[in-house]
Amino acid sequence: MKTPSRRNVLAAGGALGAAGALGIATPAQARPVWTWSPEGSVLGTGTGADPRGVWDEEADQLVADIIQRGDVQKVNKELRKWLKNGQPLPSGLPKDLKDFIEKAKQLPPWADKNKLATAFHFNEKRGLYLGVTYGFVSGMMSTVIPREARAVYYSWGGANLRDRITKTAKLGYDIGTANAYEPDGELIVTCIKTRLAHAGVRHLLPKSPYWNKVAEEEIPISQADMMVTWHSLPTSVMRQLKTWKVPIPDNEAEAFLHSWQLCAYMLGIKEEYIPNSWDQAESQARQVLDPILGPTPEGIKLADMLLNIGTLVPGGPLKYVTRPILGSLTRYTLGDQIADWLKIRRDPFWDNVFNTLWEPFIAVREGLLSLEKAPGALSKFYWTFDEILRLGVLTVLSGAQFPISIEIPYSNNPN
Residues 320-349 that bind ligand HEM (CB under 6 A): none
CB of 152 to ligand HEM, least distance (A): 5
Which residue from 118, 155, 276, 296 is in contact with ligand HEM, where contact means CB under 6 A? 155
Number of residues near ligand HEM (by CB under 6 A): 24
Does 167 help bind ligand HEM (rule: CB under 6 A)? yes
What is the C-alpha to C-alpha distance for residues 395 and 350, in angstroms, rounded to an integer? 22
Does 270 help bind ligand HEM (rule: CB under 6 A)? no
Which residue from 225, 272, 298, 351 is in contact with ligand HEM, where contact means CB under 6 A? 225
Does 60 help bind ligand HEM (rule: CB under 6 A)? no
Going by C-alpha positions, the residue among 312, 21, 42, 302 that lies closest to residue 159 is: 302
Does 409 help bind ligand HEM (rule: CB under 6 A)? yes
CB of 201 to ligand HEM, least distance (A): 4
Does 202 help bind ligand HEM (rule: CB under 6 A)? no
Does 266 help bind ligand HEM (rule: CB under 6 A)? no
What is the C-alpha to C-alpha distance for residues 123 and 216, in angstroms, rounded to an integer? 37
Does 157 help bind ligand HEM (rule: CB under 6 A)? yes
What is the C-alpha to C-alpha distance for residues 187 and 263, in angstroms, rounded to an integer? 8
CB of 32 to ligand HEM, least distance (A): 16
Question: Mind spelling out the 3-state secondary structure of 340-405?
Answer: HHCCCCCCHHHHHHHHHHHHHHHHHHCCCCCCCCCCCCHHHHHHHHHHHHHHHHHHHHHHHHCCCC
Count the helices and strands in the chain (H runs, E runs): 21, 0
What is the C-alpha to C-alpha distance for residues 315 and 390, in angstroms, rounded to an integer? 10
Burial class (CB in 10 A: 0-12, 13-18, 19+), 12: exposed
CB of 85 to ligand HEM, least distance (A): 16
Q: Which stretch binds ligand HEM (CB under 6 A): 37-45, 193-201, 270-278, 309-317?
A: 193-201
What is the C-alpha to C-alpha distance for residues 284 and 275, in angstroms, rounded to an integer? 8
Does 378 help bind ligand HEM (rule: CB under 6 A)? no
> Which residues partner with 412 through β-bridges?
155
Which residue from 55, 230, 341, 354 is in contact with ligand HEM, where contact means CB under 6 A? 230
Q: Which residues bind ligand HEM (CB under 6 A)?
A: 147-148, 151-152, 155-157, 164, 167-168, 171, 194, 197-198, 201, 220-221, 225-226, 229-230, 267, 406, 409
